[in-house]
Structure 1
């Protein structure tokens, strides 16, 4: 079964790779400089900037390369309009070709040249198309000490490894929620190595179109781990020894809007997690990751009713690790918005309680539940549901996000 799944995933990857392509976009731009070469290089640089965008370091390097190309081109001697150049290979894929539309030489009182070009810029088209979701990056949590005493024998464990495990699990759950475009901020050395390869002479010039496509994050999740320890209790009764292990964690986390560095949401997790015999501390880290993700998602994207087929077939708009079989959800009406009289900001509040749902099955993108309390005719599409207590944990507290000025109503309602 696992082999079949692996083959299916590989087939999907090959299909995606086959659909990836580089498209050509044309731009007419003007460039200015103290010489013809500088003006031509500036015009080409502007065309690239409009199509693909440029970072400061890349812009300076590319400007020098374009000036070298312009110096060796035929226009250096003719300096006139109508000249066409194919520079795909020489520009390493940044520019496919261009045509000089107009050349304006320095006039009396002016010292700069102006060159207008019509440039064809290759742009890599991602396999993931029409993705309008907000992007989010999960960063490794900082830790107060180099080691934490979370171990079966009371020994210390490397804090960095625990932080990485927690971060990876949070990232996995956000990805499976399918509500955000999750960005990878790991494997920097590996990506840098691949970038150098694409920029080298060892690959075709067409591959260079893949450069400069890394996205910036809209939001970032950061946190601090203050305590992570295991309390081991042994009790002897009639010659039999029973061992109980309880993991304790104390951490804080924040969701930050990267552009403004505003804290959109913040919370703390200070809880104890009993661990069964044979279970490793990763069980606790996975549980903490679920708490963090649920805390963020309950505020931003609460679980909602997607469709109502019957009393035993009510579709919820989230699945994966977000929802589990047997979960009980309280069902509410769609709710409404009220205005905070102090800040003037809108606050969404839940509507009246309508009943209770029990999850029957969970799939990657959605879940199916049945109505165990309430009337089916009152269940509406878009109604919010709130998770009740899971085994071994107290019921989550319904929280409302603290909205900030300028926060968008779509697709995230802060």
Structure 2
């Protein structure tokens, strides 16, 4: 009898635990890469879409909408624009129920530039190799990206990305790794999405003054200068109510010295008026931030 009762309790516990795990898994926001327009006719739209999905999934903070279902919802949205279907979200285009964040983008530029590699030709000339001509090649990919909140319509992230890859070769044609170029852009889009929802913050301040951040590889790189700031009141568009910015107050600069998969360690690069509290917001410093805050000693 005791054994039977124990089995019942164990089954109930497993059931409760399983519900908890399922809840934790489904608590992650759902992201859909709606459309990546190819204004350059490069033929890379599908590849970039797949890479963005992989980069977003690899963050571990989101669930992705299945590609098949995404295709159906895009079709529904197209029909909704013509009034053929409706939505349970008043004022919104139909077809995107169940999605939390929508990613839109456009490949706006794809340019290639080739020229002589003067340094390479000089070295080969000094070595007496007159026939091995050296050349260099540079390819730039331009992207416009927008990520919106599907419930409120608020733009959570908007950016213009210009990814450039350079290479040089002697005695042959310089080659460009197009896959690496696209993957780098996809990683930046994923990072922008993550940090717009869960901003980079101070996770701990160590006894030696080192500042530990709650993001690591893929979001933060060693050598980066970052600014710590206190978030102020939201600034909203008086007509639409859309959040345009926040009156943030810069507190000081830090410089990243090391990065692990999940955290980064930085040291103060300017004076701070007070101790740095855990939870302080962090973003990459602009040139103006460095020029203004860097004067503090």
- TM-score, with structure 2 as normaliser: 0.62
Name the CA distance, whole Å, in 1 between partners of 2:176 and 2:242: 46
Name the CA distance, whole Å, in 2 between partners of 1:138 and 1:345: 22
> What does 1:114-133 align with in structure 2 at a 5 Å threshold?
127-131=21-25, 132-133=27-28
Aligned match for 2:53, one of 161, 168, 171: 171
Name the CA distance, whole Å, in 1 between partners of 2:66 and 2:100: 13
Name the CA distance, whole Å, in 2 between partners of 1:350 and 1:136: 28
- What's the counterpart of residue 379 of structure 1? 276
Aligned match for 1:136, one of 31, 55, 58: 31
Structure 1 residues 366 and 168: CA distance shift in structure 2, 3 A: farther
Structure 1 residues 295 and 282: CA distance shift in structure 2, 3 A: same
Name the CA distance, whole Å, in 1 between partners of 2:32 and 2:157: 16
- What's the counterpart of residue 275 of structure 1? 166
The higher radius of gyration belongs to 1
- What's the counterpart of residue 348 of structure 1? 246
The number of aligned residues is 231
Structure 1 residues 312 and 276: CA distance shift in structure 2, 3 A: farther
Name the CA distance, whole Å, in 2 between partners of 1:247 and 1:385: 32
Name the CA distance, whole Å, in 2 between partners of 1:186 and 1:229: 30
Where in structure 1 are there 5+ consecutive unaligned residues? Answer: 1-18, 25-123, 149-158, 189-214, 397-414
> What does 1:31-42 align with in structure 2 at a 5 Å threshold?
none
Name the CA distance, whole Å, in 2 between partners of 1:313 and 1:128: 37
- What's the counterpart of residue 190 of structure 2? 293
What is the RMSD of the two structures over their aligned residues, measured on CA atoms? Answer: 3.8
- TM-score, with structure 1 as normaliser: 0.46
1:224 to 2:106 alignment = yes
> What does 1:5-404 align with in structure 2 at a 5 Å threshold?
127-131=21-25, 132-139=27-34, 141-144=36-39, 146=41, 148=42, 159=43, 162-178=44-60, 180-186=61-67, 216-235=98-117, 237=121, 238=125, 239=130, 241-258=133-150, 262=153, 264-265=155-156, 267-269=158-160, 271=162, 273-277=164-168, 280-311=177-208, 313-332=210-229, 334-340=230-236, 342-343=238-239, 347-363=245-261, 365-375=262-272, 378-388=275-285
Once the 2 structures are TM-superposed, how far is the Cα of residue 221 of structure 1 from its aligned partner?
0.7
Q: Is the 1:329–1:357 contact (alpha carbons within 8 Å) kept by the matching residues of 2?
A: yes
SS in 2 for 1:170: helix
Q: Is the 2:40–2:110 contact (alpha carbons within 8 Å) kept by the matching residues of 1?
A: no
Q: Is the 2:191–2:219 contact (alpha carbons within 8 Å) kept by the matching residues of 1?
A: yes
Cα deviation per residue 1:180-221 (whole Å; 9 max; x = unaligned)?
422142377xxxxxxxxxxxxxxxxxxxxxxxxxx9321121
Q: Is the 2:108–2:142 contact (alpha carbons within 8 Å) kept by the matching residues of 1?
A: yes
Name the CA distance, whole Å, in 1 between partners of 2:255 and 2:117: 41
Cα deviation per residue 1:27-72 (whole Å; 9 max; x = unaligned)?
xxxxxxxxxxxxxxxxxxxxxxxxxxxxxxxxxxxxxxxxxxxxxx
Once the 2 structures are TM-superposed, how far is the Cα of residue 242 of structure 1 from its aligned partner?
3.0
Once the 2 structures are TM-superposed, how far is the Cα of residue 384 of structure 1 from its aligned partner?
1.5
Cα deviation per residue 1:94-141 (whole Å; 9 max; x = unaligned)?
xxxxxxxxxxxxxxxxxxxxxxxxxxxxxx959543243422123452
SS in 2 for 1:137: strand
Q: Is the 2:111–2:139 contact (alpha carbons within 8 Å) kept by the matching residues of 1?
A: yes
Name the CA distance, whole Å, in 1 between partners of 2:32 and 2:238: 32
- What's the counterpart of residue 292 of structure 2? none
Name the CA distance, whole Å, in 1 between partners of 2:268 and 2:28: 31
Structure 1 residues 270 and 328: CA distance shift in structure 2, 3 A: closer
Structure 1 residues 246 and 133: CA distance shift in structure 2, 3 A: same
Where in structure 2 are there 5+ consecutive unaligned residues? Answer: 1-10, 70-96, 169-174, 290-297
Q: Is the 2:51–2:186 contact (alpha carbons within 8 Å) kept by the matching residues of 1?
A: yes
Once the 2 structures are TM-superposed, how far is the Cα of residue 352 of structure 1 from its aligned partner?
2.6
Once the 2 structures are TM-superposed, how far is the Cα of residue 371 of structure 1 from its aligned partner?
2.8
